[in-house]
Structure 1
């Protein structure tokens, strides 16, 4: 079904893959070409370095790299995209960094807080801020309910050979020939003030597709199979996934988009697909034929690995709580449900780390089959035209029933919705008992269709992390989500929630043509690029607050350890929860109150104690007297022989802050608030064995936080309440040091801890020294 190749791989003429044994000869390749029935294809030579440059990724990087260095890229993007829980903070940061006008098209969509259901006026206040910003700086504003961010970008902004940067982790348009990257807001700020996205040239992994999916197998099935094969090993972490092979021709563009958007869950950096006549048709249908160009690897291209997928062997899949990589075939689940669910319960209970919550799934078994309480199809992954048409065909004249099971469907854009109305798919779904909603991302992050306590929801959305469905564990609530394809969700709905693979009833599926009506956007979307109006004033609602003043990096640091997390992976949802907290993302102070609230509820209190101590330290440094500050410094640091004057200077030069340890933090969302909330509460650093994603590490750096790593086993030296003293940290960062000596001070004594500070560019170090990106640009 899915095979991974550890060695490098040559792709020849787009047809043949040859593993790099280190001694591949032209004769061997030509022999394989002949054996594959391609005797007309012959090579004259094999040049590994030239073949690396023949990938589509290399071609696109080369056209966007502003540096005279092909190994250390400085990229400028063709367009930017943000939604309504990120653009306020980004624009305010950019304004503080010198923004005058958007230099490239910047799309501001309103698809996350569009319900305006929590917090009174604050969501709509953010939307008005966004419209004013689009007018003032020359942006594109997509009002609420018009489209989810990635569907609009597919329909209106993607183009072959382009690069797009978005402040949402699922920024992926590779199937349309666009290399897109999801990052924290700081990276968009850099583009807005005409700086670059700096990255070492990433490895490129071929995803070689062959065969044809069975009827009833959908894009989510293929995506989950790939995620299950690569996630745990980190096989494609921070790499580019380049989709090639004859199987691509057997997939519609909607199908490709559905696979592509889920590549985020592999932790890859980006994705790109070879293009063909079907992509030509996509751009023609959407009124943008000039956006198409042929993309394909060179005659011989070289990849750092390969994921080989036989599409014909993929079966309907289900990703069980609490991660998209926890995958099984639906057939396996139906045959061995009791055993599988017991193991998932054990692992889930451990992951929740809350003895008051009893996570249970075995009670959802009815006559040996898993039964869902709810089904949802939504967002950039689920709400596409072909997915919803297939659901209507599978449900047909049946009914989902009048019991507790419910089905909600969210078309991904108004143009998609309009065409579904025209071809009567919406009518069929409504008559079957489904509820039709507007374009909204809420079910992907817990702001819509929250199931009942102990409920089990099946969803064609992007993630199923703990509490991603909207439950509140701190209030004693628990529910869970399994990810499935829309086709199997419809088949399950036919059976009243009893888990059913769509392959059992796939004979009803037939292709339906799509017509795009651009009038929907022409009459509602504000198109302001290139038409900035500097005289327009930004509109601030009462919840929109500026970032607090952030101090630069001190000479020394004294950090209180405020949280220690030993889970294998810590998601951004656990660092700063999704759901109702999204309404407060325009207010750094209010949002910070939720930091680690679901993982370590005492964190905020501990952080505030240290922050208050830092405020007192600054007063002492200015000449005041504070007994508590002197007591802390005297109790945790060796002051033997210090004079009063020396102690005073030492207090002036040594900032007090906080640090958290997590084994592998940052999986999931691109939200910069996972880092900025710690910073608002006085956080100066994270310590990890490794970082789950580049984007989380970038967020730390852009907020002036030190992204330390330590060696396996060293984490046992850290406990909540300890102090970590890092002498000379300013000089170490300035000098480019990659290791820093520190002292852990606890009630039982002191220990040394070597901190690693690797792979930081000069700009990264300068940002950390300045204290954050805003400080850096205002210098």
Structure 2
């Protein structure tokens, strides 16, 4: 189904050659041949430096939703923001349920509108569009680069390189700074064949994620899609695959463009933005995935990660064993003991699920919901436990589905039609019952992502599937069914275009790009607070472990939970109370206790926590040890909450994503690596003493000599700061990005 080549290859005349074969054929060296990739051309066009080994990127546009834009604008304001220097879209698709947290969600929406007016931005009111659906429709086009404060910022199907990052990186763009990275690896994704009836984009995406994530095949790389298989796919289908590339841990993605792309952009009223885009003959790739679309089967990604992927056929054949593994994972990761066995949902050899959801940037496309409606037409979901909800990705999609009668077909079958809202993707909508099993065409199935509260003994499960198989399951009354099992499953067409009507946007969206009104007053609700002041890095540091996490991967949802806690995203101190709350409930009180001693030190009061060290030169702080932190969301709060509580460092074997490491640095924390840290057996309360840490950073050292203190015993250890740039050092020395720009 998927063939992986980990070594570099040339792409020539539709075939792939090894480096040696390429030399024999007279092809240029890889360093030159890489210029033939689509990614190289786009990066070069947006790079402000003369070299391509290091990149300083300026983007064409940016987008944020209502969990992130308040913090970004507050950060930029504290650093001198006067107006938005590029198109900046503020959507309201995450915290749209204004009953959660009282008035504070709508207070933030009002702030966002006032900011769009003051600084010259585009404001999309709640329930109008999912952030990525809107950006596809309005901004994505071949050759562009877009930055978003959401990890699923992916518009590669349009020929756009889009990147999801933490809020500070967007604040940098607002301050006319650049996005600085080393030139990334580019991995070729060569598509051949065409999908079979019943196989949707989520199936293709889960197959790719399952093949790549665990071994880091495309981690921090650009995934470049091309090949004859691209031509067999509609734009909706391509986007459905593309948006899920985030779950491979890649940096970005880009696709070749063709007449399907041109026709779609023309339908959106932006046909003049089309340009042909394809790899040059002889282009060099740092690795290769070959995907025969005709071999992909309907898939299911079991809890608790999109890479935990199996064909539905395999799952059914091994359901009891696989479900027991999910139960074991739940007990280990969530601490839930004695939960009702999932195997009880096996009835007469059939697995019964409780809920279906088709939603968001991956599920709520026109084509996905048309297929679901066609599969369900004339059927009834039934009055038992199973229920289905459908969320169109935007009002134009919703409008066309309504005009064509597909919404009526879904409603007549018993599906609940919801607004354009991301909530089910991160636990703010359609929370299943305790012990329930939900199948979703959405982006993630991390622990707690569905909204349960394991700390209160709750647990529910999410598996990812394609809209087609979810609809087939709904038609079968909740019995898990692959869409290819239906005798009449409709096939997807490459030219499945739809009539685009943006009248809903023209009636409600504030279009203020380039029309700043500096006299506008920002509207602050009572929950919107400034960032607490942070101090520069002291000469020495004595850090105490406030949490130690030995899971193979720690997600940002575990570092700061999503769902209703996100209502407090505009109040840094209040939000920090939830840090690691579902992973280590004692983290916050431990960190606060250390911070209290640090505050005594700053005030000149005596503290025994320094253990005799000079209070004028030695600062106190906390750190989090996790083997591989930062998979998942781009939300900066995963790092900023630690900083607000006195965090000074993360210590890990490796960072799961570049974006989380960037958040750590931008909030003034040291991103330490120690590959053998698991063997150190660090526990909460253990300490790291970092003598001369400030001087070491100023000198540009990447190896930091420290002292590990455990149970009164001391031993020297070496901490690494691989690849840390001069600017990153200066940010940490200043205490955080805000301080750095204030200087």
TM-score of the aligned structures, taking structure 1 as reference length:
0.94
Counterpart in the other structure of 2:4: 4
Checking the alignment, whether the CA contact within 8 Å between 2:553 and 2:631 is kept in structure 1 is: yes
Shift, 1:349, TM fit = 2.2
Counterpart in the other structure of 2:307: 325
| 2:733 is the alignment partner of 1:769 | yes
Structure 2 Cα separation of the partners of residues 161 and 410 of structure 1 = 30
Counterpart in the other structure of 2:15: 16
Quick one: which of 398, 402, 405 aligns to 2:386? 405
Counterpart in the other structure of 2:46: 64
Shift, 1:333, TM fit = 1.3
Counterpart in the other structure of 1:673: 637
Structure 1 Cα separation of the partners of residues 461 and 336 of structure 2 = 17
Shift, 1:356, TM fit = 3.8
Structure 2 Cα separation of the partners of residues 655 and 577 of structure 1 = 29
Counterpart in the other structure of 1:33: none
Matches within 5 A, 1:697-716: 697-713=661-677, 715-716=679-680
Tell me: CA distance 1:693–1:506, structure 2 relative to 1, closer, same or farther (3 Å): farther
Quick one: which of 356, 374, 392 aligns to 1:375? 356
Quick one: which of 471, 476, 484 aligns to 1:503? 484
Structure 2 Cα separation of the partners of residues 218 and 452 of structure 1 = 28
Structure 2 Cα separation of the partners of residues 49 and 703 of structure 1 = 35
Structure 1 Cα separation of the partners of residues 9 and 340 of structure 2 = 44
Checking the alignment, whether the CA contact within 8 Å between 1:85 and 1:583 is kept in structure 2 is: yes
Tell me: CA distance 1:228–1:117, structure 2 relative to 1, closer, same or farther (3 Å): same
Counterpart in the other structure of 1:385: 366
Structure 1 Cα separation of the partners of residues 515 and 23 of structure 2 = 57
Quick one: which of 645, 652, 659 aligns to 2:623? 659
Structure 2 Cα separation of the partners of residues 598 and 772 of structure 1 = 27
| 2:647 is the alignment partner of 1:694 | no
Quick one: which of 157, 163, 167 aligns to 2:139? 157
Matches within 5 A, 1:457-472: 457-472=438-453
Counterpart in the other structure of 2:509: 525
Shift, 1:357, TM fit = 5.7
Counterpart in the other structure of 2:463: 482
Counterpart in the other structure of 2:717: 753
Deviations, residues 381-426 of structure 1 (Å, cap 9, x unaligned):
0000000000000011000001111000000000000000000000
The answer for unaligned runs of 5 or more in structure 2 is: none
Structure 1 Cα separation of the partners of residues 340 and 249 of structure 2 = 27
| 2:606 is the alignment partner of 1:632 | no
Matches within 5 A, 1:268-307: 268-307=250-289
Tell me: CA distance 1:102–1:506, structure 2 relative to 1, closer, same or farther (3 Å): farther
TM-score of the aligned structures, taking structure 2 as reference length:
0.98
Tell me: CA distance 1:8–1:116, structure 2 relative to 1, closer, same or farther (3 Å): same
| 2:319 is the alignment partner of 1:337 | yes
Shift, 1:358, TM fit = 2.6
Tell me: CA distance 1:290–1:155, structure 2 relative to 1, closer, same or farther (3 Å): same
| 2:188 is the alignment partner of 1:211 | no
> Rg larger in 1 or in 2?
1
Deviations, residues 38-72 of structure 1 (Å, cap 9, x unaligned):
xxxxxx64443332110000000000000111100
Other structure's SS at 1:394 match: helix
Checking the alignment, whether the CA contact within 8 Å between 1:458 and 1:482 is kept in structure 2 is: yes
Quick one: which of 118, 138, 144 aligns to 1:136? 118
Matches within 5 A, 1:180-191: 180-191=162-173
Checking the alignment, whether the CA contact within 8 Å between 2:264 and 2:497 is kept in structure 1 is: no
| 2:182 is the alignment partner of 1:200 | yes
Counterpart in the other structure of 2:646: 682
Counterpart in the other structure of 1:30: none
Shift, 1:750, TM fit = 1.1
The answer for unaligned runs of 5 or more in structure 1 is: 28-43, 638-646
Counterpart in the other structure of 1:36: none
| 2:611 is the alignment partner of 1:613 | no
Checking the alignment, whether the CA contact within 8 Å between 2:654 and 2:675 is kept in structure 1 is: no
Counterpart in the other structure of 2:537: 553
Matches within 5 A, 1:706-745: 706-713=670-677, 715-745=679-709
Number of residue pairs matched by the alignment: 740
Other structure's SS at 1:669 match: coil
Other structure's SS at 1:232 match: coil
| 2:134 is the alignment partner of 1:122 | no
Other structure's SS at 2:198 match: coil
Structure 2 Cα separation of the partners of residues 614 and 486 of structure 1 = 52
Other structure's SS at 1:24 match: helix
Checking the alignment, whether the CA contact within 8 Å between 1:51 and 1:298 is kept in structure 2 is: no
Counterpart in the other structure of 1:174: 156
Structure 2 Cα separation of the partners of residues 359 and 208 of structure 1 = 44
